[in-house]
């Protein structure tokens, strides 16, 4: 799994490629947590190259979303595959995120296009 961070128009974008599961979730947590600090109100997590998210992975995303929301921010997910979206909906995880087809649309939503 690879994690690439970039900024665009003042917004932080994290691109996650590969699988977010028990093997990779610790590493992902280590990389993402620092970015949830006070300076970042909204984060875009680009998952277009992420093929699979396990239970542990979903919980990491949820934890990030909740932490951001206590800071007044929101976690935006972009590029989710149809299958992953479906899984999130079935397991009750869809309520906590805003999802978009791609990074551009996500940025537009937070006014940073």
Interface residue list for other proteins (CB under 8 A)? 21-23, 25, 54-56, 58-59, 62, 86-87, 90-93, 95-96
Angle at 79 between CA 73 and CA 83, to 5 degrees: 115
The C-alpha atoms of residue 4 and residue 60 are separated, in whole angstroms, by: 17
Structure tokens at 52: 């699979």
Tell me the closest approach of the beta carbon of residue 1 to other proteins, in angstroms: 13
Residues in the chain: 113
Tell me the closest approach of the beta carbon of residue 70 to other proteins, in angstroms: 15
The C-alpha atoms of residue 13 and residue 8 are separated, in whole angstroms, by: 7
The C-alpha atoms of residue 37 and residue 87 are separated, in whole angstroms, by: 29
The C-alpha atoms of residue 111 and residue 3 are separated, in whole angstroms, by: 24
Tell me the closest approach of the beta carbon of residue 112 to other proteins, in angstroms: 28
Report the residue number, 36 or 58, with the smaller CB distance to other proteins: 58
Report the residue number, 6 or 23, with the smaller CB distance to other proteins: 23
Report the residue number, 4 or 59, with the smaller CB distance to other proteins: 59
Tell me the closest approach of the beta carbon of residue 52 to other proteins, in angstroms: 8
């Amino acid at each position: 799994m690879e994690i690439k961070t970039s900024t665009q128009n003042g917004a932080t974008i994290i691109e996650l490629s590969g699988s977010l599961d028990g093997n990779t979730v610790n590493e992902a947590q280590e990389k993402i947590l620092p970015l949830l600090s006070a300076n970042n109100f909204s984060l875009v997590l680009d998952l277009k190259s992420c093929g699979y998210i396990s239970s542990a992975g979903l919980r990491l995303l949820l934890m990030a979303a909740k932490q951001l929301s206590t800071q007044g921010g929101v976690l935006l997910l972009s590029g989710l595959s149809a299958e992953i979206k479906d899984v999130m909906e079935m397991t009750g995880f869809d309520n906590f995120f805003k999802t978009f087809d791609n990074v551009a649309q996500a940025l537009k939503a937070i006014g940073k296009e």
